[in-house]
Structure 1
Amino acid sequence: MKYILVTGGVISGVGKGVISSSFGAILKCCGIEVTSIKIDPYINLDAGTFSPYEHGEVFVLDDGGEVDLDLGNYERFLNITLHKENNITTGKIYKHVIDKERHGDYLGKTVQVVPHITDAIQEWVERVAQKPVSETGKPPQVCIIELGGIVGDIESMAFVEAFRQFQFRVGRENFCVAHVSLVPQPKTTGEHKTKPTQTSVRELRGLGLSPDIIVCRSERPIGQETREKISSFCHVAPAQIISIPDLKSVYEVPVFMENHGMAEFLDERLRLGIAPLPPLRKYMRPWIELGSRMANLKSEITIAVVGKYTRLEDSYTSIAKALRHAGNAAGFRIDLTFVEASNLEVATLQEDPAAYHEAWRNLCVCDGVIVPGGFGKRGVEGKILTCQWCRTNNKPFLGICLGFQAAVIEYARNVLKLNGAHSIEVDEDTAHPVVIDMPEHNPGQLGGTMRLGRRTTVFRKGDYNSKIKMLYGNRDKIDERHRHRYEVNPLYTKRFEEAGLRFVGVDVDEKRMEILELEDHPFYVAVQYHPEYLSRPLNPSPPFLGLVLAAKDRLRAFLSKGCKLSPREPQSDYDSDDDFLLNPLMAKQLNITNDQDDNSSAYSSSSFPEAPE
């Protein structure tokens, strides 16, 4: 088993997750089986109780694991299914060791950070890394481990020490370190500053880990002089220093990295035995085409996301990516507008009229609307008003989780005329509890007590053509990931359906409502599950694809053709079978032309232009 450890320096949030995923994407294109592990140094057992403002969204796995959003990146990039054990936290490790101590496994010994905690970390990594990949059943050959936070954080010291020991446990030829660091470029001087990177690498080496690769994150590519300076102070060859500037899409990063000959370096460093590679455009073709297609989309669609955590876009990162997957497949660039749900409420009109009118204006001018999930009372009335506006104005609409429940509440109030209808999450004393809790999934604790993970939804047989069922390929049942405590009250479902709101999807016991749809509407669909978690760059989620197509009035034609997209003409000279399918901006940054030899060795680090003055 081979291991690649990805660490971070200077500041967090510079893209370690995308870099880690890109290592895996490159290796997968070379025929290497890959798995991933994310280490989060916080004491929480999982990410389930995090505030979206602090860590972004909570990503849910098939087995119900509530994890960091970086695992969503791994699944999307590598097209693999991960499990809750692929996310390690300090809390999990300490609980594991304390449980063993209570069981008597350390009887007579003093339990300490070294060796007991560090040994537990190493054993956990080895155990998870060797689990077969779900999609192929084959054991992984490479495990990519991302260590959250930055080097020097007190929370991550035990993990750094564990990997200092681990490199000797598995052998140097099986262990590689990649360090991701910010290289700032102050506007006052216009030159890249290497001192922060030097400091973080010095600290990493002082803790016993020497980077084999330094990934420099910056707004613009660093020049050869900067690269040589980092090399001389950080004891890393210039060819092993990679510059990753800000790109239009994260899906361009694997190709950008491979243009430095990354597969060749990893093959030599880890002795992977990769066969001689064909031209870059052959083995990296899916990523080259994806990056080119996304960079050259012409038509634009505006989608409003009416949420409760709109101050931080990462709170809805999977929804944003699922929309862009769908837009890319349909040929449309997605322009996301985040609307704070509470700003749509009448109370805001009195407190902040400008915010109220701006929110409603953004809602009115968009092409389609998503009402995503969330918890608590704040903003719920704004979401309900959004559902009503989309229903009565024929605006394409997709509700997810709480958005599904808000659509039910709105219909109960305004169509069934059930005054005061609500969810008991918001109003425990409502006269018409159309949304109720699930007692078996809410035993009094908040962490890990919801209906979580991949569950089956069955499509009901009906006397009309369901748009959402057709988008799913007219299958009888589907599997999607869930994360909720509340559900539609089954005592009201018959009244809803008699009034025209169709629950086209239910759980396997036909007790829980999973999908609702309005027939006489361009696209009015809401789902209790979270379809964004299973969306992939080359396989967009059907509900998101339906929303995007309906927003451009293309859904009817799409369904009539058997859910097949019409082939598009090449959009640029870079979008054909014979040309190097790299978007022009990236080609310019790399100083690459189609006349060059296409093998990876042709695109060394020296092909970057000098940093601008």
Structure 2
Amino acid sequence: MKYILITGGVISGIGKGVIASSIGTILKCNGLEVTAIKIDPYINIDAGTFSPYEHGEVFVLDDGGEVDLDLGNYERFLDATLHSENNITTGKIYQKVINEEREGKYLGKTVQVVPHITDCIQEWVEHVSKLPVCKANESRTPDICIIEMGGTIGDIEGMPFVEAFRQFQFKVGRTNFFSVHVSLVPQPKSTGEQKTKPTQASVRELRGLGLSPDLIVCRSEDPISEEVKMKISNFCHVAPHQVISIHDCTSIYRVPLLMEQQGVLEVFRERLLMPILGPSPLVDSMSKWRDLADRFDKLTDETVIALVGKYTKFEDSYASVIKALKHASLAANRKLILKYVCSEDLEPQMVNENPVKYHDAWGSLVGAQGVLVPGGFGYRGVDGKILAAQWCRERNVPFLGICLGFQSAVIEFARNKLGLKDAHSTEINPDAEHPVIMNMPDHSNPKLGGTMRLGRKATIFMPKEPSRPCRLRKLYGNVDVIEERHRHRYEVNPSYVERIEAAGMIFVGKDDTGQRMEALELKDHAFFCAVQYHPEYLSRPLRPSPPYVGLILAASTQLDTDLGRNLRSLAVRSRNSSINIPLVKDLLPLAPTKENGELNPSEVKSVLEKLASASTTPAKSTASASSTFFD
């Protein structure tokens, strides 16, 4: 097992997660199995009780773990399935050591940070690094473990982890441990000169703590010059080829390519003695990423989506949602224009409190081609989400609701179609006369941490009937069962389901008991879909989430075109399949066009039929959400 430790200096939020994911991508593209660990030095047990304004969104794993959003980056880049243990916190480590002390494991000894806490960290890393992360081959253990240490070098809360890895490098041996330090190279506008002193100071502190970097990644606005690279090399005790530049890129898909171009693979091969074949003129291992980045940069046709949320001041609050929208836009060959609308600003009281915000918010909503209402908790801004759902329903605007967005759509429908004016969620109004959204009895717990309905669960589409048209089923490839990740404590009240469906809102997906509503659609609407689960968690750059693809296709008026129908027809592909089908959009340019430059529908159909016939894998009746569309 080889271990690659990623540390950061100068400032937090410098991009260690993207660097870690990019390194993993390069190694995986060269035939190695890669896992990843994120270390967060806060005392919380997990990220489940954080406000999104603290550390961004809470990412949910298959096993129900509520973890840091960087694990979402790892899963998307590496196409891996990680575990809750892949997120280590100070709280988890101390809890484990204290529990063991109470059980008598350290009987007679004084329990201390060194060696007991540091030993626990090392044991945890060794254990988790061996857990399989590939669904297609669960018997294969990883070859490489990438470990990202949160925060910056010098933070007092991170010291036990730094000390643990100082010891760990000798425990596993020099050829099995590699240290990457990510640092900022600022360029003040007053001088225009790139400054190396912050990086020199950061590396000096890291070396003073017993870790010497084998690779220094310099983050900057523009590429660093050779002169700056040589200066960092001289003062930080590394060779020039061990200093690489990662400047601000057009998309994060460019980062693995930048690193590969600067020879990081050769550095890893020399230092870790890894069995990597290296770049070959005959085999471009990064071709998929190169094509992905090129396609992203060349998108021109715009689609405007309004994201109506509660935490719109901080983009990372909706990291997975935004990524899923980008994946879907890329699949639909559309450039995403995302408008952030604070749901509170849509509410009537804002007319008097802040009329400028009110009119700006409604202007963004009305001008959007599609609307997404994501999840959230608490009463703040819920009325704005309900108003957004009403606007889309009444104006035939494509709409996708996720979790609380799903519940908001139900509340709005009950109020304005069923006439239940007091309809609400018991989360917001426990005394509502019509509690169309209620607390789940099996998840009623006064403790908030880890007590929701969490993790990967099955959703069963209802039997096909003329009265139950199901766009979502088509988007998922006409399968009977899908699996998606959940994170919620409230659900649709079953006693109102019959009345709601009779009025035209159809619950097309339910859980395996048939009692819990998972997905809904409106009859006779361009695209009005909502789901209780979080499909964004399983979206991948090359396999976008079907509900998100549906929203983008509908917003760009492609959903009911030949192209839209053919895209959906390619949906069923087992996640475990070993057969690689090229991206649909990569083949479309091969189809002849009309004189006006548009794709010829008959030729497109021919190309797609050939593409579909390339797969010999039979369609399955159960699909993983992220296994659909493209592979």
Distance, in Å, in 2 between the alignment partners of 1:84 and 1:517 is 33
CA distances 1:570-599 after superposition (whole Å, capped 9, x unpaired) = 89xxxxxxxxxxxxxxxxxxxxxxxxxxxx
Q: Does 1:348 pair with 2:368? A: no
Distance, in Å, in 1 between the alignment partners of 2:439 and 2:196 is 54
Structure 2 partner of 1:553: 557
CA distances 1:74-102 after superposition (whole Å, capped 9, x unpaired) = 00000000000000000000000000000
Distance, in Å, in 2 between the alignment partners of 1:570 and 1:510 is 45
Q: Work out whether residues 265 and 278 of structure 2, in 8 Å CA contact, stay in contact via their aligned partners in 1.
A: no
Write the mapping of 1:334-345 to structure 2, written as runs, cut at 5 A.
334-345=336-347
2:505 aligned to which of 493, 501, 513: 501
Structure 2 partner of 1:568: 588
Distance, in Å, in 2 between the alignment partners of 1:538 and 1:2 is 28
Distance, in Å, in 2 between the alignment partners of 1:412 and 1:85 is 42
Deviation at 1:54, TM superposition (A): 1.2
Structure 1 partner of 2:452: 450
1:170 aligned to which of 168, 172, 178: 172
Deviation at 1:179, TM superposition (A): 0.1
Q: Work out whether residues 30 and 278 of structure 2, in 8 Å CA contact, stay in contact via their aligned partners in 1.
A: no
1:479 aligned to which of 476, 479, 483: 483
Q: Work out whether residues 470 and 559 of structure 1, in 8 Å CA contact, stay in contact via their aligned partners in 2.
A: no
Distance, in Å, in 1 between the alignment partners of 2:280 and 2:335 is 32
Specify which structure has the bigger relative contact order, considering alpha-carbon pairs within 8 angstroms and separated by 6 or more residues: 1
Deviation at 1:132, TM superposition (A): 2.2
Deviation at 1:432, TM superposition (A): 0.2
CA distances 1:282-313 after superposition (whole Å, capped 9, x unpaired) = 11101101111101111111111000000000
CA distances 1:136-172 after superposition (whole Å, capped 9, x unpaired) = 2211111000000000000000000000000000000
Structure 2 partner of 1:606: none
Between the aligned residues of both structures, percent identity stands at 63
| Partner SS, residue 589 of structure 2 | coil
Deviation at 1:131, TM superposition (A): 1.4
Structure 2 partner of 1:18: 18
Q: Does 1:152 pair with 2:158? A: no
Q: Work out whether residues 466 and 519 of structure 1, in 8 Å CA contact, stay in contact via their aligned partners in 2.
A: no
Deviation at 1:133, TM superposition (A): 2.7
CA distances 1:249-274 after superposition (whole Å, capped 9, x unpaired) = 11111111000111121111111111
Write the mapping of 1:57-206 to structure 2, written as runs, cut at 5 A.
57-135=57-135, 136-137=137-138, 138-206=140-208
Letter in 2 for 1:517: E
CA distances 1:404-451 after superposition (whole Å, capped 9, x unpaired) = 000000000000001110001111111000000013213100110100
Write the mapping of 1:124-523 to structure 2, written as runs, cut at 5 A.
124-135=124-135, 136-137=137-138, 138-279=140-281, 282-464=284-466, 465-523=469-527
CA distances 1:57-114 after superposition (whole Å, capped 9, x unpaired) = 0000000000000000000000000000000000000000000000000000000000
Structure 1 partner of 2:30: 30
Deviation at 1:188, TM superposition (A): 0.2
- TM-score if structure 2 supplies the norm length? 0.89
| Partner SS, residue 229 of structure 1 | helix
| Partner SS, residue 50 of structure 2 | coil
Distance, in Å, in 2 between the alignment partners of 1:168 and 1:149 is 24
CA distances 1:453-499 after superposition (whole Å, capped 9, x unpaired) = 00000000132331110000000000000000000000000001111
Deviation at 1:277, TM superposition (A): 3.4
| Alignment gaps of 5+ in structure 2 | 571-583, 592-631
Letter in 1 for 2:147: I
Aligned length: 571
Distance, in Å, in 2 between the alignment partners of 1:250 and 1:273 is 27
Distance, in Å, in 1 between the alignment partners of 2:394 and 2:451 is 36
- TM-score if structure 1 supplies the norm length? 0.92
Q: Work out whether residues 456 and 483 of structure 2, in 8 Å CA contact, stay in contact via their aligned partners in 1.
A: yes
Letter in 2 for 1:153: D
Structure 1 partner of 2:605: none
Cα RMSD of the aligned pairs, angstroms, is: 1.2
Structure 2 partner of 1:578: none
Q: Work out whether residues 48 and 58 of structure 1, in 8 Å CA contact, stay in contact via their aligned partners in 2.
A: yes
